[in-house]
Structure 1
Amino acid sequence: MRRYHPLLVTLHWLLAVMVIGGLVMGTFALAATPNDDPFKITALTMHMGMGVLILVLMIFRLIVRFATSKPPHADIGNALLNKGAIAAHWVFYFLVIAMCLSGLATANIAGLPAIVFGGSGEPLPANFDDIPPRVAHGIIATLLGLLILAHILAGFYHHYVRKDGLLGRMWYGQRDA
């Protein structure tokens, strides 16, 4: 087997775009917008909605990953790097799910569901910095961004330096050799 199941491929690329979009939105749009700006509610609505959808899709992706056959792990001739690559993929699952859960915890502690989705008319808190899950959310965002960068660089390394066709495993086409 040369490729992942087409549903896993779709989930991989869809979640990649969504996670990167969520990180960019949180880092640039939300962090730069004061909590008393009316746009903040709109941005939070989109960010929180996307976060919940990411969580649901990640759990679905884990189920699909366990339920479908996959190609063997890549072997680049270095046992430590091979094990590191396997671990990095599991760390992706952990960090994305932890990111979503810390976001949900932050939202609940700050009373955001009623403010953002319930139209309670309450103002947003002055800031979210004193909410412990928000601190975790920021740390996880940094770790996730670094892991994404390493993942992209590893993909480029395989494609342009090793020229081993590894990227093709996460694309559509014949699954068997």
Structure 2
Amino acid sequence: MTRYHPTLVALHWILAIMIIVALVMGGQVLAALPNDSPDKMFSLRAHMSIGLIIGILMVARLVTRVKTQHPPKADTGNALLNMGGQVAHWALYAFVLLMVASGIGISVTAGLPGIVFGGSGAPLPETFNDLAPRAAHGIISKLLALTILAHIAGWLYHQFVLKDGLISRMWFGNRT
């Protein structure tokens, strides 16, 4: 078997785009908007919705990963790099799920579901910075971004140094 299951491939690329959008939106857009800005509510609603969808799709991806056959583990010829690749892949799952959990923690702690989705008319809190889940969300976002960069670096290494065509495993086509 040379390729991953098509569902896993589709979820990989959909999630890659969604996660990068959510990281940029959270770190650049939401962080720059004061909580009393009219644009904050729209941006928060989008960020929270995307985050929940990411969580659901990530669980679906994890279940698909566990239940389907997949190609043998990538081999760089270096045991340490091989182990690093495996750790990075599982760290991606862990960090994404922790981001979703900490985001839900912020939402619940700050009463955001009623404010953002329920139309309660209540204003947003002055700041989220004093909430423990917010601190965790910020730290995890940086760890996730670094892990994504390591993942991309691994692809670049396989593509341009090893020239083993590893990326074809995570694309559509015949799985044999």
TM range (shorter): over 0.9
User: Can you list the C-alpha shifts for 1:117-152, whole angstroms capped at 9, x where unaligned?
Assistant: 000010100110000000000000000011111111
Query: For residues 36-90 of structure 1, what are the alpha-carbon distances to aligned partners after superposition, in whole Å with 9 as ceiling and x for unaligned?
Result: 0011000000000000000000001111111110000011111111111111111
Secondary structure at 2:135 match in 1: helix
Amino acid at match of 1:110: A
**1:158 aligned partner, one-letter code:** H
Work out whether residues 85 and 154 of structure 2, in 8 Å CA contact, stay in contact via their aligned partners in 1. no
Partner of 1:83: 83
Name the amino acid aligned to 2:90.
W
Correspondence for 2:118: 118
Aligned equivalents of 1:99 and 1:111: distance in 2? 18
Q: Sequence identity of aligned pairs in percent?
A: 56
- The 5 Å alignment of 1:103-142 reads 103-142=103-142
Aligned residues: 176
The residue aligned with 2:25 is 25
153-162 or 51-60, larger mean C-alpha shift: 153-162
Separation in 2, partners of 1:100, 1:85:
23
- Root-mean-square deviation (CA), in Å? 0.6
Counterpart amino acid of residue 51 in structure 2 = G
CA distance in 2, matches of 1:64, 1:146: 25
- Contact 2:88-2:150 at 8 Å conserved across structures: no
The one-letter code sitting in structure 2 at the alignment partner of 1:106 is: I
Letter in 2 for 1:41: M
Matched, 1:34 2:54: no
The match for 1:94 is 94
The offset of 1:153, in angstroms, is 1.5
Work out whether residues 102 and 137 of structure 2, in 8 Å CA contact, stay in contact via their aligned partners in 1: yes
Report if aligned partners of 2:4, 2:69 keep a CA contact under 8 Å in 1: yes
CA distance in 2, matches of 1:37, 1:87: 40
**TM-score, normalised by the number of residues in structure 2:** 0.98
Cα offsets for 1:9-29 (capped at 9, x unmatched): 000000000000000000111
Number of the residue aligned with 1:157 = 157
Structure 1 match to 2:5: 5
Cα distance in 1 for residues equivalent to 2:151 and 2:122: 41
